[in-house]
Structure 1
Amino acid sequence: MELWQQNSFSESYTQGRLYLIPTPIGNLEDITYRSLRMLKEVDYIAAEDTRQTKKLCNYFDIATPLISYHEHNKEQSGRKIIDLLRDGKDIGLVSDAGMPSISDPGYEVVVEALEENLYVVPLPGANAALTALVASGLVSQPFYFYGFLDRQKKEKKKELERLKKLMDTFILYESPHRLKDTLSLMLEILGDRSIVVSRELTKKFEEFTRGSISDVLALYEEQGIKGECCIIIEGSGEEAKEEEEAWWKELSLLEHVQQVMDKDGCSSKEAIKQVSKERNIPKRDVYQAFHVE
């Protein structure tokens, strides 16, 4: 990244600013005074779903024109936003709920604006992950935010295998109709750890379900699930980390490479590189053991 400094409120800056404006994740009272002011002051609001944002604008008497920016038009609409910023127009970027670009559209247009040395100004506000984390009762720092897992079972398994190694608390988002399947895979791959499933955050029916993965899954097998879910998962801890690192110690170099190939479905070249890194030995030694010995 090229070195440059952004003085966000410099009076000498003449082009438009891209404001990242968080919106409530449920309770409309959670919007900040500053967010309301900026939504009224910007020239345009770029919205993930203009119909949803229009409801918010109507509630707070905001008359700012809306333009569409979502996953399926982000290239064309992103270019339009950049052109408007170049013309000196201020744009407020919002998602349907929460912070733009966190499991929502926004990242690409932010990168494009920064590449052209346009100012990007973030506002603080509502976020489901942090809201759930601080009430979870699990270790709140350090933590790792992952967001949504892949919808395909095969890919989801691979993602959970990688997350299994994390020592720290981690956070997932999940839709209600996929929650049970995801919990089943988590139990299979992560083991029976402590988790907290939060849903309907900040709304009238806000709910936190705390317990082991197996107990939470059993409960939801009997209950219906509504509302987007945020899952806080206990990390593996030091002991599990050491066990994970030690699995190969009784193996020869050849056996180690072969098991990595079988486990990860990778080529011998990739496996040799991984074994070299895990054992902290030269790659040529692993190559020699695999191809010659």
Structure 2
Amino acid sequence: MAPLESLEKEYPLIDSNFQSFCASHGIFSVEDFLLHDLDALLSFTDNHSTSQTLKQGIDQLISIIDALHPPLLNGLQLLEDAQRNKHVLSTGCEGIDALLRGGLREGQLTELVGSSSSGKTQACLLSASTVVAKHKSSVIYLDTGNSFSPQRIAHFVGQSSGHIFGNQADHMLKKVLDRIICYSVFDVYHMFDVLHQLKINLRSEIVKSNQHVRLLIVDSISSLITPILGGSGPQGIVHLCTQNSLLMFTLKDDPTYHINLLSCAVVVYFHSFGASHSNSVPFIKFTCFY
């Protein structure tokens, strides 16, 4: 959320006096303001000689927040928006696309689960290269196991390009790799730091280069969660669900930036828990968060 001082130029009521008053109550940003008890804050203004001006500043800040929020939509409007703006992105694998009823859906988090060496990373790399090549869009790739492979991306691009050879093929590969933004993330806290900064980074790296993020991949989240669990067991699924909820919360749209990450598809890959390799069953889970 924006710091209060950044609003002063456009909104004179959010002046240095108002900022000092807010700072005395631990409020330095719009987010801090939203988390504060509004009734208590209003009562504190009564102790100041500029009480009326401070209350006007609070009203101004509330109106700013209200103006930034999108209007409430009913179920029919959400359905129409999904059909009109939330597209289906092919993973590049016909079998996975069939299970996903066409592919990865924008505005939806998809969890793919499987045992070690079941091809999860290959599916990640194939999905990334396919989305970039087919949709001329960008992909954010959170690599938790140092498994991102440009060579495999080159292989998939070569397979999809078919009759294209020479300089044209090299140009296509460079274009695909340029649009896959890879972050190496080795603990869950670092992952959420990266997600928190993405809105700022995307504004400079994506918007200015006229690219649109259509897919975010986490490969894989289990390697980040396992050290926290201290072992395996059925409780692992509960922790993973909690982390994925935090993932969705972190990606909520911030109106101060002109990017809505919820318009992209999100894919999370992790190992199966609570089962041996012989009887574990890969599954796919969808979480819609328009």
What TM-score do you get using the length of structure 1 for normalisation?
0.31
Higher helix share: 2
